[in-house]
Amino acid sequence: MNTTAIYHRPESEFAYLYEKDKMHIRLRTARQDVRHVQLLCGDPYTLYKEAWYQQRIEMKKILSTDLHDYWQVSVGAEFRRLSYGFSIESYDGLHVFYGDHGVYPFEQQYLEMNNNYFRMPYFQEADRFKIPEWAKETVWYQIFPERFANGDPSNDPEGVLPWGLKNPDRQDFFGGDLQGVIDHLDYLVDLGINGIYFCPIFEAYSNHKYDTIDYLAIDPAFGDNDTFKRLVEECHKRGIKVMLDAVFNHMGDTSHQWLDVIKNGKDSPFADWFHINEFPVNYKEGENFEDAYDITYDVFAFTPHMPKLNTENPDVQDYLLKIARYWIEEFDIDAWRLDVANEVSHHFWKKFRQACDDAKDDFYILGEIWHSSQRWLQGDEFHAVMNYAFTDAIIEYFVKDEISMTKMVSELNNQLMLYREQTNQVQFNILDSHDTPRLLTLARGDKDLMRQVMAFTYLQQGVPCLYYGDEIGLTGDMDPDCRKCMIWEEEKQDRDLLHFTRSLISIRKDNQKVLSEGSLSWNWVSEEDGLIIFERELGAQRIIGIFNTGDDQITLSRPDSILMEQFVQLEDETMIIDNKGFAIVKVNNEESNEA
């Protein structure tokens, strides 16, 4: 037995309240090293009186990575406190007890040591990680406002280009605005969308609006505060939630605060609002806007036009928290997406979370973090992150062919085991965005592959997000090319792809509960023929995904009920799946048992 691989940590993703009276407990062991794990648990004050260590609860191996196996069990939390340890038996015959002080032989003298058990002294409902239930049911649609639709030409900025005239450059404006979104809300409803994630809409200098001038005003090229209030109301009438982008890591260099620093230097009342290393503030231009150097203040990346905010300054904190509350209380938004969230202190985000919770019940907070994010997902900062670390594995296998199938599965499982179950249910699964090449471009124009990747992703735990225009075949390389104008002429849209996306979203929503909360099992992962079969199961419901990523046809038994398929031939008793083909199958265990 590889005892060095055994791991558990109380009050973490390894031991947490899932529901008020249900606790999830996990254990990690070396891959294919342990054959049997059981939980010993009971009230910490009755170990000797009840000898509850003699009772064992079976744990199930739920997922595996290339290094580890993960075991899990649910136990009741009705007694509000718990002591627990693990009985572990390896394939080589070793039997050990694992508790708070490590590994011991599985002998009674060690089982009777009260201090040898992990302990949850008291289950505090206030500390349980809670998620907005509506977030599990949401299919998001990301809108880059400047490029979605021009609904009000009267607010077009100077030098605006005709809609879709050319592929966008960094400084181009095409006139997209909030009225354009209002005009197309019924299109989104027809598509099945019930959540919109907006890139920044506040007053800013650029077309992307990540260089904020005034956080309390809608950018004049997009409309005004009244336009936005009407947009939120129209969204809510249609059952659509609204998420705004909060850029609190940095401001624009045309904001009045930064202009005052430029003018007054260290005497400016805003001098401590930023991370300034030397006065006067200055930088030297490079060949491109990203190539500035000798910058005397901290910035986002190497962009001198986005000076970094000092979120430890109490005045900055008060200012940003006021903004957070303002858009919730005055306009009834439902969520914040936090830009560059990993570069802002945890101290501030805890205050931000409390401010949002105080302003509105069931508010959703999403952080932009591209890597593993346990620290932000402990229940007192964010509900979820943009799940790039998860979806990157899908892209790297299916589209880029950079990792093996087994490595993809390993990485997906690894990401799921980093977080509590309720966190995984609302993670933001995004295949492309304003910051990445579009999925169809990554797939080199292969729409069959694109559909396969989308189907695979929409069956995973977490909530899917569709980048505007993907559904009608919009292409685009790295930004700014991925920020093209939406195509509204039906004759120029890929209507087959639109119909596919609408159907896929419908499947996701019709089977939301099992796809949000259901367990995941990898039934078949074959590098040899490229076949992946996995299932999501909750109670009597099972959704099975069957994907052929190999070069040759694969023949399987014909299922009873196929919700969606691509390149599938059905015969009397068999199903033949071609390359890039897939089948989404629905099984009701109760019906199959009755049959």
State yes or no: is 368 an active-site residue: yes
Amino acid at the residue 579: N
The tokens of 198 are what?
Answer: 């907006």
The gap between the terminal CA atoms of the chain, to the nearest Å, is 44
124: helix, strand or coil: coil
Options 146, 211, 334, 368, the catalytic residue: 368
Q: How far apart are CA 428 and CA 461, in angstroms?
A: 10
Q: 522, 545 in Cβ contact below 8 A?
A: no
47: left (phi over 0), alpha (psi -120 to 50) or beta: alpha
DSSP 447-486: HHHHHHHHHHHHTSSSEEEEETTGGGT----TTTGGGPPP
Catalytic residue among 33, 339, 411, 470: 339
* Eight-class DSSP state of 208: S
Q: CB neighbours of 336 closer than 8 A, spacing ≥ 6?
A: 243, 244, 245, 246, 324, 356, 363, 364, 365, 366
Q: Determine the Cα–Cα distance for residues 368 and 390; give it in Å rounded to an integer.
A: 13
Between CA 52 and CA 49 the distance in angstroms is: 8
* 508: amino acid identity, one letter: R
Strand order in the sheet with 195-198: 384-385, 364-367, 335-338, 241-246, 195-198, 140-143, 463-467, 428-430
Determine whether 490 is an active site residue: no
Query: Could you list the active site residues?
Result: 339, 368
